[in-house]
Each structure stands twice: as structure tokens, then as C-alpha cells.
A and B are shown apart, each in its own frame.
Chain A
């Protein structure tokens, strides 16, 4: 009697568990069906862009493996033989390596040091101008070069910096100095590169800080006025702390791109005279890969570049999180 009851109990327990599992399974499938039913149209809307990213971003990521292979076109990406770190070793030991690193990092650190504070200063100054009209004119004019193409920009630089009749050298000539061949001398390349960038983008870069400044609580300014603060003190104690989070975020993003010096401008400004200073990783990847068809070697250099960027981005983000509580993620 007891045994039967026990058995019965077990059976009912088992069937109960079974039912529960079944119910669970059913509700899970139901949930999926429900979600799909609810959201399938949203997925369909996103689909074309998803296909684009898979084709032109994720498929190339699969192709990155040729950095560890000897790519042979007829065998394809998958069929080419593995060679481990051969191409990386070749790059690290090549005489080009240090020159490329020096030029790439040199330009981008210079760019960061000179280019990063200028938009901030511009925004702070613009923010203090009372004359609305003047402010508008300065903004309109300084934003404009941002939309000029790199080709036109470099064309203008060749014109203005020409040693024969360029306007810059005519100006230098007024002081009785000899003309300088800016684009033919490796010594000037970095400065020319960086300051043409500042000319083109400083105004545009200030917009984001102006937006941050306009978001500062006006009561702070009133309090400062009551306390008798000068404009300089207001900038120092209210404006700068107010735009700090924006500046930190932008700084992190800039550091995360430190190895990405603009290919187009470097390539267009490059000539046989300044190549010593103008050969950067991006231009080298282009030459080795597309002009000399060393696909695997070029991909390996590119991958090295990307990995350095990611390491820098992650570590700067970590430091920023600790120091200022602001971070990308």
C-alpha cells in the first residue's frame, strides 16, 4: 500500500516535472514566435544595412587571416598555407619599421598636442564675445574649410608653399630671407601636415565645445557675476570644468586613432624629396599591398596598426575612468 502510494507519488511528481519542462519549452518557443511576430518588420527594415556590414566589414575581417598565411590568389583565402608570424617578423625587423613608427607617431602626437587644444580655446573665446554678428561671421568662415576636399587642400598647399612664387615665400621674402621649399624638405613635413589640418578643422572642432558651453547652468554665471569674477576667472572656474567631460571623451577617441594618420593627405603631399618624413604606415600599406601586390605582408602591417589602436583605446579609456570618471564605456 505504502509502496504503491510512493510509486504513485513519484509518478505524479515526474509527470509534474515533465509538464513543467514542457510548459517551459513551450513558453520559450512561444516567446520566440511572439518576438518574431512582433519585431520581424523591424528586423526586415534593418536587414539591408546588416547585409552591407556583413559584406563589407565582417567578410574582410575573415580575410584578415591572410596576415598569417602566404596568400596565393588561385588557392583563395582559405586554401593558402599558414605561415604563422612570418610577415610580422619581417615587418618588425625591416629597416622601414622604425622609420614608419617614428613618422606615424610623430605626426599624430604632434597633431594631438597642437590640434587638440586649439578648438577648445576657440570655443572659449567665441563664447565670451558679446557681438553676435562678429561671432556669426567668425563661425561661418572658420567652419568652411572643413568641407574642402583633401585634394583641393593639398593643391592649395602646393600653390601657397611653392618656393618660386608661393604667397608664403613672397611674405618671407619681404623680410629679406631666402625662400623655403616647405614640401621638398623632410624637416618641415610634420609642421606643414599638422598646421594645414588645424587650418581646415579647428573651427569645425569648436562646435562641439560650444554646444557643451551652452549647456552649462546659467545660474553659475550669475553667481560668478555677483562674486565679482572677471571673465578670465569665469572661464577658468566655470567654462573649463563644464566642457571637461566632452574634452575627455574626444581625447580618448583621438588617442584610440593615434596610428590613423590621414592616408589621403600624406599620400598627396608625398614626393621623392620628402618621403623620408612623409612615409607613414597607411601609405606604406597602400604601396606594399596594391602597387606591389604583397597582399599578406600588407595585411599583417594593417593588422598590427589596428591592434595598437585598440590597445591604446582600451588603456586610455581605463585611465580616464579612474582619473576623471568619464569614459566611453
Chain B
């Protein structure tokens, strides 16, 4: 008896020791991951307000050095960035509105068990997930519809994502009881009225999720503009960002007053950091507030159905 208890104690000590080692390794690994992800983001922030010479010489590590707002000043003077900001804002708001409307409108019929076209429509949607015409055939259609090089292309292409339709449908299936409509229809309520008066108000959570998914998609959209837009007046923020960040063209129009080439390169670097912040601010401001909804979206999406 005594011996057995001793054995048990030994195993439990062994267990707690192993668990302790596991915990130490676990917390170390996660802390490391935290650092690896957070540091680059943090660095961009401190570099954007530091003296560019200090950044170039590797003096900026933990805190900003020689604080300056010069980079941001130049950014706010740049008309290209303002225009890009404005365009992206419009594309995001109008595009997301179209997205939400169409997605909810098709998700509702698909969520109803008694809907006769349910199976066919699902297949109709799923096919587009795995098979598409590809770049050129889609380009030709856009051209035929005269949407090429117009702001319509930025809000209409990608108007419905099948993945988001499935998320929305799953949400409606789980949250709007079938009987609710039956009860309402006895009182002479049509599907239209039911959809607007009952379904939409009960779907606030999923509408929040969809707004975020679609909205961020529009905010970050680059490829569509690259393919379809030729007119600089229509350029969204991401295209402007590319010319500054990737093609190194932060110098040209706004540097008229800077004669010195070295000075130009110096400020060019500073502008890069600032522009990353300016472009990401709306998303980063919303993110902590709405994180809950993002995660919710993934959870709903992961329910197979």
C-alpha cells in the first residue's frame, strides 16, 4: 500500500516536472513568435518618426531617435496620396455595400430548407470556386461590358464571394428558425418583407463579419486596379503605395524643393515608413475593436455544411 502510494507520487512528480519543462518551452516559443511578429510592425512605427540618418546607421532599435515629423509632413503634402486615399475610400464604401446586399440576398434563400432551387444554386456557386475563365477571358468580358478603366470595375468585380455566401448561409440556418417565417407567412408576410424586417435585423453579427472581410478586401485591393485601370485619377491607394514602396518613386513630384540627391534619398526612406503607417491606419484602428467578429467569421466558416 505504502509502496504503491510512493509510486503514484513518483509518477506525479515526474509528470509535473515534465509539464514544467513543457510549459517553459511553450512560453518561450510563443514569446519568440510574439516578438518576431510584433517587432517589424513596431520598428516601422518608430522609424517613421526618427531621423532617417539614425535609421540608416542602425541606431534605431527600441526607441525613436531624433524625433521628426518631416516624413508625415511630406506625405500629407503629396496630392497623389490624398487622391488614392479618396478613391480607395469610395471603392471600399460602395463596393462593400454592394457586397453585403448581394451576399445576404442570396444567402437567405439558400438557408431555407424548403427552397426548391437550393441544391442547384449551391452547385452553380461551387463550380466557380474551382473553375474560372482565367485572366484574359475575364478581361475580355469586362472590356465588352465597357467597364474597363472605369471605377465600376473596382466595385463590381468580386461583388459576391462564394466563401462569404456560405458563411452567411450557415449563420442564417443556425440563427433564423424556419418556424419564424411560417408564423409570419400565416399573417400574410411575404419573403421580401420577412427578409427586410426579420432576417436583416437578426443578422447584425454576420453583417459585421462580412463588412469587415469585404471592406478590408477592398481597402487592400491591388491586382484589379493593376489590370483594369489606366487613368491615374482612378488609382486606389495600393497602386500609389507600390510606386512609393516598391518602385522607389517617392521622389518625383513632391521633391521639387529638394535639390540635393542625397537629401532626396534620405527623405525618400523616411516617407516609406510613414506611408506604410498612413495606409494601414484605418485597418489597424478598427482591428482591435473588431477582432472578435473576425474570429467569429472563421468559426462560422469552419462549420462544415
Contact = CB atoms under 8 A, between A and B. Distances in A.
A245 to B, nearest CB: 9
Contact of A144 (B114, B145, B284): B284
A129 B128 CA distance: 41
Interface in B76-104: 101-103
Contact of A149 (B58, B124, B220): B220
Interface residues of A, number: 91
A42 B145 contact: no
Interface stretch (A13-21, A95-103, A109-117, A297-305): A297-305
B273 interface: yes
A45 B19 contact: no
A237 interface: no
Contact of A53 (B160, B192, B288): B160
A134 B27 contact: yes
Contacts of A173: 58
Interface string B34-50: 10111011011000000
Contacts of A302: 134-136
Contacts of B276: 152, 155-156
A289 B56 contact: no
Contacts of A229: 15
B105 A309 contact: no
B219 A43 contact: no
A129 B219 CA distance: 35
Interface stretch (A1-9, A186-194, A203-211): A203-211
Contacts, number: 261
A138 B30 CA distance: 7
Nearest to B239: A151
A223 interface: no
Given A45-B191, A152-B245, A264-B222, A55 B145 contact: yes
B245 A56 contact: no
B135 A56 contact: no
Contacts of B298: 204, 207-208, 211
A308 interface: no
A161 to B, nearest CB: 11
Contacts of A63: 133, 136-138, 140-141
A141 B38 contact: yes
Interface stretch (B62-70, B115-123, B201-209): B115-123
A53 B121 CA distance: 11
Nearest to B25: A125
Contact of A152 (B145, B227, B241): B241
A125 B26 contact: yes
Contacts of A145: 37, 41
Nearest to B244: A155
A52 B121 CA distance: 13
Contacts of B110: 46
A141 B283 CA distance: 14
A125 B246 contact: no
B291 interface: yes
Contacts of A49: 102-103, 105-106, 159-160, 165
A217 interface: no
Contacts of B124: 50, 53
Contacts of A126: 30
Contacts of A60: 132-134, 137-138, 140-141
Contacts of B249: none
B87 to A, nearest CB: 15
A147 B140 contact: no
A158 interface: yes
Interface string A126-147: 1011000010011011111101
Contacts of A58: 128
A151 B246 contact: yes
Nearest to A310: B130
B233 interface: no
Nearest to A58: B128
Contacts of B37: 141-142, 144-145, 199, 203
Interface string A39-74: 101111110111011011111111110100000000
B58 A310 contact: no
B133 A212 contact: no
A144 B287 contact: yes
Nearest to A173: B58
Contact of B132 (A38, A57, A142): A57
A45 B190 CA distance: 12
B138 A56 contact: yes
A142 B34 contact: yes
A149 B279 contact: yes
A306 interface: yes
B139 A231 contact: no
A154 interface: yes
Contact of A61 (B26, B132, B195): B132
A230 B22 contact: yes
A264 B223 contact: yes
Nearest to B14: A230
Given A264-B223, A302-B136, A39 B284 contact: no
A323 interface: no
Given A39-B115, A57-B133, A207-B298, A45 B106 contact: yes
B291 A140 contact: yes
Nearest to A296: B136
Interface of A: 35, 38-39, 41-46, 48-50, 52-53, 55-64, 66, 77, 122, 125-126, 128-129, 134, 137-138, 140-145, 147-152, 154-156, 158-160, 164-165, 167, 170, 173, 199, 202-204, 207-208, 211-212, 228-232, 246, 249, 256, 263-264, 267-268, 285-286, 289-290, 295, 298-299, 302-303, 305-306, 309-310, 313
Closest 3 CB pairs of A and B: A60-B133, A155-B245, A63-B137
